[in-house]
């Protein structure tokens, strides 16, 4: 598959990329090579191959959710540097 300059400009706009004419030529060549490689992958018979969800063989061991004791409101606010009756006081971050 061949990438033309108009397609490259559209992709560059979507990806917020900027480059000069020399960079555009180089990028067009590189993207064409990548798409040609992907086209070669389409020639492979993958009918008996299980899809991967991760590249690692490790499994995440999950624990059961157990309801436990929770902090009451007063204990939760006990060590707060600043508080306002029922809430934490934090510096303003938005105008």
Q: Between 68 and 57, whose confidence is greater?
A: 68
d(CA 51, CA 86): 51
What does the pLDDT read at residue 28? Answer: 92
What does the pLDDT read at residue 33? Answer: 93
Is pLDDT at 1 greater than 80 in this prediction? no
> Per residue in 11-64, pLDDT tens?
999 999 998 888 888 999 999 999 999 999 888 898 888 888 888 878 888 989
What does the pLDDT read at residue 16? Answer: 94
Domains of the chain: 5-41 (1.10.20)
pTM of the entire predicted model: 0.47
d(CA 88, CA 35): 54
């Amino acid at each position: 598959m061949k990438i033309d300059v108009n397609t490259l400009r559209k992709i560059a706009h979507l990806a917020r990329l900027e480059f000069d004419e020399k960079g555009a030529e180089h990028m067009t060549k590189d993207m064409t090579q990548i798409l040609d490689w992907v086209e070669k992958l389409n020639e492979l018979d993958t009918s008996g191959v299980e899809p991967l969800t991760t590249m690692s063989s490790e499994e995440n061991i999950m624990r059961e959710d157990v309801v436990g004791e929770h902090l009451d409101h007063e204990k939760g606010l006990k060590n707060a540097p600043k508080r306002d009756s029922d809430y934490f006081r934090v510096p303003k971050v938005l105008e």
